[in-house]
Amino acid sequence: ALLRRHGRNPHALVQILREVQAHQTWLPRDTLSLLAHELGLTLAHVEGVASFYRFFHMQPVGEYRLLLSDNITDRMLGSEALLADLCQQLRVEPGRMRADGRVSVARSSCTGLCDQGPALLVNHHHVITRLDAQRVARIAELIEARTPVAAWPAEWFEVVDNIHRADVLLGTPQAPGVALAAALARGWQALLDEVKQSNLRGRGGAGYQTGRKWELCREAPGNTPDNTHYVVCNADEGEPGTFKDRVLLSRYADSLFEGMTIAGFAIGARQGFVYLRGEYRYLLEPLQAVLQRRREANLLGAAIQGREGFDFDIDIHVGAGAYVCGEESALIESLEGKRGTPRIRPPYPVEHGYLDEPTIVNNVETYCAVTHIAVHGAAWWAGIGTPKSTGTKIHSVSGDCERPGIYEYPYGTRIGRILEDCGARDTQAVQVGGPSGVCLSAFEFGRRIAFEDVPTAGAFMVFDRSRDMFEVARNFAQFFAHESCGFCTPCRVGTALVVKRMDKLAAGQGSRHDVDVLFELDKLMHTATHCGLGGAACNPLRDTIAKFRPAYEQRLTSLYFEPAFSLDAELSIARQMTGRDDPASHLEIVE
């Protein structure tokens, strides 16, 4: 039935694997073999896809799979102690399944709940916020009693929006259909011109002009007689510290779908996809309910709002735990049912995107912004923010502040203003844009959020003076090593080497030589990696060494070379075997 529902479409492989695993908790080889046969794929291909995504398991992981969010902000809230507690109470080692097959516990990259962490993902479907010792103890009891997750206390799964400052996008939502009617009244060409003149730039980080992207896509010839084009929404906000799309998807889904429909009208597409990150699986049913309402209101489907020839619908594709799929070409590969390996660009998706057809990929926030431009026009939008950065930007604020949550400001807002509003005190640093972004010290809090000054995809992590910025950078280095897709050697090996050197420094065995090696690795990865993940992996390292040098220097035990281990300690086994422990059996004189 599942295969029939997906039309035995090999491009739906990631979705099929996800649904199969939801039923049987893991993906045995027999199952993969059967799927390969039914979908007309090779077993090697199916196994290659299943092994790429962290949320797919080719070995048993237990009836209960617990993933603790491991962003630095979760750690600041005590996630490591809670992980140890959870493992002790469940008698399980991190990363391993308990012998009776009941449960496994592991760390996961940021789950997008930094404003209400520490967060726990249960069976890839349910999120528990504000984890504490009481909840850990109760979770252990419920698992021992084999209580279904659906019967766990409902308040644990409550995810609040935490909107502290609203502007254009987070103000009163427009009624469904209003923006679409305005767009249809303008006509596609005038609409396209309006989006271009508004100077709306993509909110996902790169900041490419949205109107120009749409125009290029509209002009690109498709490969099919009916000139197929696609609209894709990147809702894979995996950058640690970013959670504003979670709120847009929870509360402003109509605005997102309306923006995508408007984009479909502008570029002449009939099909849209939302690529929803696997960690937001719990949003799938509510989003599908909104889509269904829109179909019933003829805001999606055939001849939308009575306009003959304007047919458009949207499918939701759920990711499976791969940060790299936030890169648009990797996202498209995943949509096509493949491993999420980034493509070589050019050609860009506007010409050769989903199934090689012209495709636009925009962020959730960008599509929501389009609805306001359709209604109020380019001049109104361009009057907000700065000339080069028009409109507003939504920030996900977390870390050392009294009011973590969602803040929307016009572009051009000072970093210091955001810190004041969120109740941050004695702030040492702010990581803007997540680990791939920039780390700002107190001297830079007068700088402004803008493409021409401090660009951001939305993360705003605050660190007060009690925080060790070396440990912050080390957590980010671990994140990049964990998320490297392994396709190219400089990133696969480089990110691991960076973690190793930083671990050496953390163990008190560092020297100036190690810092020099870190600089060399940064240079190599910045220039030799295949996609932006590898290129950005050393950003936190570079920034923190430059701005918080004492955090590194206090860990250097010598200026020159320091081995990563104690040779004398390594000889202890030999001493045990020979039954010696006299001074001469040590490398150093024992007093």
Q: How far is the CB of 504 from ligand SF4 (least distance, A)?
A: 22
Site for ligand SF4 in 268-327 (CB under 6 A): 324
End-to-end C-alpha distance for the chain, whole angstroms = 75
Q: How distant is the alpha carbon of residue 570 from its chain centre?
A: 41
Bond prior to 346 in cis (omega within 30° of 0)? yes
3-state secondary structure of 385: strand
Piece of 140-148, 265-273, 415-423, 486-494 that binds ligand SF4 (CB under 6 A): 486-494
Give strand pairing partners of 544: none
Beta-sheet pairing, 438-441 with 427-432: antiparallel
Instruction: State how far the Cα of 260 lies from the Cα of 271, in Å rounded to an integer.
Output: 10
Q: How far is the CB of 457 from ligand SF4 (least distance, A)?
A: 17
Q: How far is the CB of 483 from ligand SF4 (least distance, A)?
A: 7
**Residue 435 · residue 480 · CB < 8 Å:** yes
- Residue placing its CB nearer to ligand SF4 in the complex, 215 or 333: 333
| Phi then psi dihedrals of residue 427, to 5 deg | -75, 130
Tokens for 104, please give them.
């496994």
Piece of 237-245, 306-314, 479-487, 510-518 that binds ligand SF4 (CB under 6 A): 479-487
Q: How distant is the alpha carbon of residue 366 from its chain centre?
A: 17
Q: How far is the CB of 324 from ligand SF4 (least distance, A)?
A: 5
Q: Please give the single-letter amino acid code of residue 492.
A: R
- Residue placing its CB nearer to ligand SF4 in the complex, 238 or 337: 238
Tokens for 336, please give them.
């096509």
Tokens for 172, please give them.
């009163």
Q: Please give the single-letter amino acid code of residue 308.
A: E
Binding residue for ligand SF4, selected from 488, 515, 536, 556, defined by CB under 6 A: 488
Site for ligand SF4 in 520-559 (CB under 6 A): 529-531, 533-534
Q: How far is the CB of 234 from ligand SF4 (least distance, A)?
A: 16
Please choose, from the candidates 293, 357, 395, 398, the residue with its C-alpha nearest in 3D space to the C-alpha of residue 72.
Answer: 398
Q: How far is the CB of 527 from ligand SF4 (least distance, A)?
A: 12
Q: How far is the CB of 485 from ligand SF4 (least distance, A)?
A: 3
Instruction: State how far the Cα of 367 lies from the Cα of 252, in Å rounded to an integer.
Output: 11
Piece of 32-40, 92-100, 136-144, 481-489 that binds ligand SF4 (CB under 6 A): 481-489
Q: How far is the CB of 176 from ligand SF4 (least distance, A)?
A: 38
Query: Does the protein bind ligand SF4 through residue 486 (CB under 6 A)?
Result: yes
Piece of 9-17, 131-139, 253-261, 487-495 that binds ligand SF4 (CB under 6 A): 487-495
Site for ligand SF4 in 326-385 (CB under 6 A): 342
- Residue placing its CB nearer to ligand SF4 in the complex, 330 or 419: 330
- Residue placing its CB nearer to ligand SF4 in the complex, 17 or 491: 491
Give all strands of the β-sheet with 359-363 in edge-to-edge order.
313-318, 271-276, 230-235, 359-363
Q: Under rule CB under 6 A, how many of the chain's residues touch ligand SF4?
A: 14
- Residue placing its CB nearer to ligand SF4 in the complex, 86 or 325: 325
Piece of 13-21, 43-51, 134-142, 484-492 that binds ligand SF4 (CB under 6 A): 484-492
Q: How far is the CB of 475 from ligand SF4 (least distance, A)?
A: 18
Centre a 10 Å sphere on the Cβ of residue 289 and count the other Cβ atoms it contains: 11
Query: Does the protein bind ligand SF4 through residue 485 (CB under 6 A)?
Result: yes
- Residue placing its CB nearer to ligand SF4 in the complex, 120 or 537: 537
Q: How far is the CB of 206 from ligand SF4 (least distance, A)?
A: 15
3-state secondary structure of 107: strand
Please choose, from the candidates 526, 543, 544, the residue with its C-alpha nearest in 3D space to the C-alpha of residue 535.
Answer: 526
Q: How far is the CB of 205 from ligand SF4 (least distance, A)?
A: 15
Diameter of the chain measured on Cα atoms: 93
Query: Does the protein bind ligand SF4 through residue 492 (CB under 6 A)?
Result: yes
Instruction: State how far the Cα of 471 lies from the Cα of 431, in Å rounded to an integer.
Output: 13
| Phi then psi dihedrals of residue 48, to 5 deg | -60, -40
**Residue 219 · residue 272 · CB < 8 Å:** no
- Residue placing its CB nearer to ligand SF4 in the complex, 305 or 527: 527
Query: Does the protein bind ligand SF4 through residue 48 (CB under 6 A)?
Result: no
Where does this chain bind ligand SF4 (CB under 6 A)?
324, 342, 484-488, 491-492, 529-531, 533-534
